[in-house]
Structure 1
Amino acid sequence: MTNSSPYTSPARIAVIRARWHSDIVDRAHDSFVSEAATQLPQAQVDTFDVPGAFEMPLLAKKLAETGRYDAVVAIAFVVDGGIYRHDFVAGAVIDGLMQAQMTTGIPVFSVSLTPHNYQPADVLTAFFADHFVKKGAEAVEAVRQVLTLTAQLAPAQATRKSA
């Protein structure tokens, strides 16, 4: 079921951004906020900073449990620093974000990217910074679609429960 109709209710969205590689992560955040103003004009976006990606799942769960948010978006850039296996961190983060949404029933979106090859060279930093702008805008579209579907399902679920 594809639906391109806009989500029209006021939404409250929590955005969690990791501060490692903030120069890149902030590009997705700024893009998300800017695009949300267009696609979800009544939305309130609250931003929360955490040290790194590993801290995002617990905060996502806690924010979702407050009942104040319709969606949570987590933004991070997890790179291989040569000391530990970044894929373990990335996997734990994604698993944790999935668990947060499955436990709370609040959708949690990931703009947490893990490149295979990143070194802090100007050309790579510029590439990923630009890519994060695109990912921030795509996240708004994903949030809008899921909130629209959730709103459409709510009357059907209420009808089934009362029957």
Structure 2
Amino acid sequence: MTVVRAVGASEEFVRLSELFAALGFEAGKGWEDDGGKGAAFLAPVGNLELVTGRMPGSPEMLIEVSELDHVHAAVTKWMDGKAGLSGVEATHWNSRMFTVHLGTGLTLGFWQSENPLHGVVPAVEGDLSAVGMKFAIVTTRWNTVITNRLLQGSLDCLYRSGAKREDVTVVRVPGAWEIPNAARTLAESGKHDAIVTLGCLLRGETAHYEAIYNEVARGIGQSQQETGVPHAFGVLTCETLEQALDRAGLKAGNKGFEAASAAIEMVSIQRKLKGGA
């Protein structure tokens, strides 16, 4: 959709073009001939509103933005003290707006909806309820100072989300290298809705750190793709023990908790996509 609006004077044309450019609008293909000139500015979404009866008390040209206060600050700086800029005010249609007057008869309105769901694209998303779901957790005996923390985080997430203790199976393997094999066996058993994989690799402890990590990640991913059972990835790859401790609950959250949460959500998504819930 293209909206063509006449601008009364060359000065207004230049100012309006400069304003849109300052706000980061994508420039379209302009034109110029003996009779005049045009400047195009592209927006990702257009809306045409037809009105009968009483005209709404808003400018004819409205521009919706997502960060109204930031836009107002940018326009204020661009106006450089010139008159014609209003403050940000609430409207009667559940939004906030400010106006900019640029010459005779040319007024722009910038607005932002106050509805938190406005503009949100509908999508299938998973719920975070583990009620009625069955899980298996594969963790390692290597680096247990880390993996035990990850395991506690995963169990905490699953139980808090409604999973029953008897529906959660914990399997311990020697090290990260063995995780894909155990995860594949559990997935193929058909007894679990999702697999949570937990482990910790520290670069300083092994010279073949990257080779092990690549194979572990590849094996877990391959098991997930070929069995169709969601595998949540909670294998830490860190430079030092301190970094691993931070990601196991000290400073940067608990990766085990996050992996279990992802597993719950993926089971929920699968059920919705398959029409089962």
Does the alignment reach a TM-score above 0.5? yes
Structure 2 counterpart SS, 1:155: coil
CA–CA distance in structure 1, aligned partners of residues 137 and 176 of structure 2: 13
CA–CA distance in structure 1, aligned partners of residues 159 and 265 of structure 2: 15
Instruction: Provide Cα deviations, 1:87-124, integer angstroms capped at 9, x if missing partner.
Output: 11111100000000111111111100111x21x5xx55
**Partner in structure 2 of residue 151 of structure 1:** 271
Instruction: Provide Cα deviations, 1:8-67, integer angstroms capped at 9, x if missing partner.
Output: 651111100011100111101011101111113347211000000000101111110000
**Partner in structure 2 of residue 161 of structure 1:** none
**Partner in structure 2 of residue 62 of structure 1:** 185
Equivalent runs, 1:2-17 vs 2, <5 Å: 3=125, 5-7=127-129, 9-17=131-139
Rg larger in 1 or in 2?
A: 2
More helix by share: 1
Equivalent runs, 1:72-111 vs 2, <5 Å: 72-81=195-204, 83-111=206-234
**Partner in structure 1 of residue 160 of structure 2:** 38
More strand by share: 2
CA–CA distance in structure 2, aligned partners of residues 104 and 57 of structure 1: 12
Letter of the 1:145 partner, please give it.
E
Check whether the contact 1:27–1:130 (CA below 8 A) recurs between aligned residues: yes
Letter of the 1:71 partner, please give it.
A
Compute the TM-score of the two structures, normalised by the length of structure 1.
0.82
**Partner in structure 2 of residue 127 of structure 1:** 246
Q: How many correspondences in the alignment? A: 152
Higher relative contact order (CA 8 A, sep 6+): 1
How far is the alpha carbon of 1:127 from its aligned partner? 2.8
CA–CA distance in structure 2, aligned partners of residues 8 and 111 of structure 1: 18
Letter of the 2:215 partner, please give it.
A
Check whether the contact 2:127–2:264 (CA below 8 A) recurs between aligned residues: no
Letter of the 2:271 partner, please give it.
A
**Partner in structure 2 of residue 139 of structure 1:** 259
How far is the alpha carbon of 1:4 from its aligned partner? 5.5
**Partner in structure 2 of residue 23 of structure 1:** 145
Residues 86 and 11 (structure 1 numbering): CA distance in 2 closer, same or farther, change over 3 Å?
A: same
How far is the alpha carbon of 1:155 from its aligned partner? 2.0
Structure 1 residues not aligned, in runs of 5+: 157-163
Compute the TM-score of the two structures, normalised by the length of structure 2.
0.50
